Amino acid sequence: MNIDSIKNGIVIDHIKAKKGMEIYKALKLDELDCSVALITNAKSQKMVRKDIIKIDKSMDINLDILGFIDPNITINIVKENELTRKFHVELPKQVVNIVRCQNPRCITSVEKSLDQIFCLTDTENKVYRCKYCEMSMK
């Protein structure tokens, strides 16, 4: 398989295998007007298998979404065919409008205009709680 290199853009690397499509949808990459490559189950020395996303465009990416879905992701910024920046995402302390509260009694079920806010309460187990009703979500 041959995936072209990108001249200017972003490579989202070290995505846990089978999480690439979830990230693709969450970042709404299907709405971009540039080339986007989603590589699934690529061989990896560190992870055995991983997913990779290549975006042939420089853009802002919601790092909270990436950290929430998989905090072990590496972001590579490419400019003029050169890797100019490489960094890792982290678990966000708070996520806004990324997931919805599943509690039917939560105020967000009634007040649709309220932001869906979840706060990180257990870093080790990646547990978030709804800001309003405190229902936990893993």
Q: Which structural domains are found in the chain, ordered by start?
A: 9-88 (3.30.70.140), 94-137 (2.30.30)
> What mean pLDDT comes out for the span 123-129?
95
pLDDT above 80 for 78: yes
* Confidence (pTM): 0.86
Percent of the chain at pLDDT exceeding 90: 88
Tokens representing residue 7 in the block = 């001249």
What single letter denotes the amino acid at residue 31?
E
Q: What is the predicted pLDDT for the residue at 1?
A: 61
Q: Check residues 32 and 5 and name the one with the higher pLDDT.
A: 32
Half-sphere exposure of 79 (CA within 13 A, CB side): 6
pLDDT above 80 for 4: no
pLDDT above 90 for 47: no
Which of 56, 44, 34 has its CA nearest to residue 13? 44
Secondary structure of residue 14 in the 3-state scheme: strand
- Beta-sheet strand order (sheet of 136-137): 94-96, 117-122, 127-130, 136-137
- Assign residue 51 a region (left: φ > 0; alpha: ψ between -120 and 50; beta: otherwise): beta
- Distance, in Å, from the CA atom of 78 to the CA atom of 6, rounded to the nearest integer, reads 7
Q: What is the predicted pLDDT for the residue at 67?
A: 95
pLDDT above 80 for 92: yes
